[in-house]
Amino acid sequence: LLGIEKGSGKPVIITDREVNQHELVVGTTGSGKTTTVANFAESATQRELACLAIDGKGDPDLAEKARILAEKHGRTYKQFSMHWPSCRYDPLAHGGITELKDKLLYLTEWSEPHYEALAGRYLQFVFRVFERAGICAIIATQSLSDIEAAAGKAVVNQIIDNCNVFTIHRQNSPESAEILAGIIGTREGVEVTRQVQSVAGIVLETGLGSVRQVREYVVHPDEVKNLKTGEAIVVRKLTGEVLRVKVRKC
């Protein structure tokens, strides 16, 4: 249960089958993104499913929320961190010589487009493995531009292509809001114009005008920019549904 649909009050449930085809959650700081992710984590812990959360920013609030959820449902919780209390993990404890070499090699940042393209292909392979193994991948970020800055445009495109559910919280950047509105899609619309003229300072219609078909956003970028905390646009690509949702607090 993600939340309730605004207007109808109907519960919005994201199924395991949908999440198995992967989900992207985007939202600026304070928009409710962490609460959305926590709902999926709670669902997993309630049903005794394994849940692995990887936070590149090392947000202590997210780690604490995960710990509380695990304790609430009697699940084992382990945390690996470079900055906070942590379990121990030696990434070089296992693997052959070639594998260990690769682990160290890929600690280095590469600026060549060739390696960016490789990363995109590897990511697509990972998504396919997850899907076939029944593993659900939920990617959460403040904006797509953050991923592009860190990993390149190819990786952003791979994520968009391989996710079938999008949960979109508020975006402050006009560019980010427009990109996400474009991902949601457009529909046929009608644009009506009317000709006017000023007579003695009074604006009057002349009776002339035009009507033409246009493509318009299903969700306008301004709506994305004006979402309140805890509100989200949920897009189901498989069914074509676009829902305005109030996310539940867990």
Domain that residue 142 falls in: 3-170+227-247
Residue 182 domain flag: no
How many independent structural domains does the chain possess? 1
Report pLDDT for 108.
63
Domain holding 157: CATH number? Answer: 3.40.50
Q: Is residue 177 part of a domain?
A: no
Structure tokens at 19: 């999440």
- The answer to whether residue 114 sits within a structural domain is yes
Average pLDDT for residues 120-140, to the nearest whole number? Answer: 82
Q: Is the pTM of this model over 0.85?
A: no
Within-domain flag for 186: no
CA-based radius of gyration for the chain? 23
Kindly tell me if the per-residue pLDDT of 115 is higher than 90: no
d(CA 188, CA 215): 5
Mean pLDDT (whole number) for 117-131? 76
**How far is Cα of residue 89 from the mean position of the Cα atoms in its chain?**
29
Q: Which residue has the higher pLDDT, 154 or 8?
A: 8
- What are φ and ψ of residue 108, in 5° steps? -90, 140
Stretch 194-206: mean pLDDT, rounded?
90
- Measured in degrees and rounded to the nearest 5, phi and psi for residue 29 equal -55, 130
Could you tell me which of 241, 195, 193, 183 has the C-alpha nearest to residue 2? 241
Query: Scanning the structure block, which residue is given the tokens 């590469």?
Result: 110
Top pLDDT among 62 and 168 is at 168
Q: Let me know: does 19 contact 138? Beta carbons within 8 Å.
A: yes
* Residue whose entry in the numeric block shows the structure tokens 């959360």: 53
pLDDT class of 43 with cuts at 50, 70, 90: very high
